Amino acid sequence: MNGKCLLEISVETLEAALAAERGGADRVELCSDLSVGGVTPGAALLRAVRAQVRIPVFVMIRPRAGDFVYSGIEFSEMRRSIADAKEFGMDGVVLGVLTKNHRVDVERTRELAEFAKPLPVTYHRAFDETADLRRALEDVIQSGAKRILTSGGAKNAPEGAGVLAELIAAARERIVIVPGAGVNAANIGQVAQRTKAREFHSGLSSVLPYGSNDYRKFEDEVRKLAKQIARLSGTQTTRS
């Protein structure tokens, strides 16, 4: 693993985004309603975050909670949301589309990835609901997405670290695998060591409940994670 490790924090408010930035996050994933895994945030939030947050902002493109099999109307809504993300100056989009038989919908994902350009696409944890993660990896690569956010099919990234390591090895340099779910300052070192990942995602729900407005504590927890990331980056730079 070479170069700097990156820390992405998922947020659902402007205040949380600013706290994540102050705490040292490299990027935020902007969502609404993280208690259901995140859905597309409204235009007012996009505008406010872009006006005040300087680090990169990836926006969730998910029209509703629940499964990831979308109707034609919902798919059109996703396209409109991507257009909004581009208009408001977002730096990337986060999405996932599955077929009824729990495979990556390559055709629809590719269409959205093409439409999103030049913004990069992260394929989110819909990936973990597929029946065959190795096949899903190849499908997402074919779609043109640049990252996959995944727990390795497990409840959280620490539990799925073994599978995550296999996915990262299989991906090589073709796509970035981003371990997420249950990642915090206490376990990120172990996850990094086992997986050899370069980017990490956390919502900090394992230490702060979704909906908490204790932004000082949120900032402190992000800072702890960022310090661990800096140590990892220093170690990797020394080894490279």
Q: Is the peptide bond before 118 cis (omega within 30 degrees of 0)?
A: yes
Contact 202, 7 (CB under 8 A): yes
Higher pLDDT, 236 or 59: 59
Q: What does the pLDDT look like over 188-209, one tens digit per residue?
A: 999 999 999 999 999 988 666 6
The DSSP string of 108-141 is HHHHHHHHHTTS-EEE-GGGGGSS-HHHHHHHHH
Asked whether residue 239 carries a pLDDT value surpassing 50, the answer given is: no
Residue with tokens 């093409």: 114
User: Per-residue pLDDT tens for 104-133?
Assistant: 999 999 999 999 999 999 999 999 999 999
Encoded amino acid at 155, one letter = K
Tokens representing residue 218 in the block: 């949120």
What pTM did the predictor assign?
0.92
For residue 167, the SS3 value is: helix
* The amino acid at 93: V
* pLDDT confidence of residue 213: 79
Go through the domains of the chain in sequence order and give each one's CATH number: 6-239 (3.20.20.380)
What is the band of 211 on the pLDDT scale with cuts at 50, 70, 90? low
**Confidence band for 210, pLDDT divided at 50, 70 and 90:** low
Confidence category of residue 35, pLDDT binned at 50, 70, 90: confident
Which residues are paired to 1 by β-bridges?
Answer: none
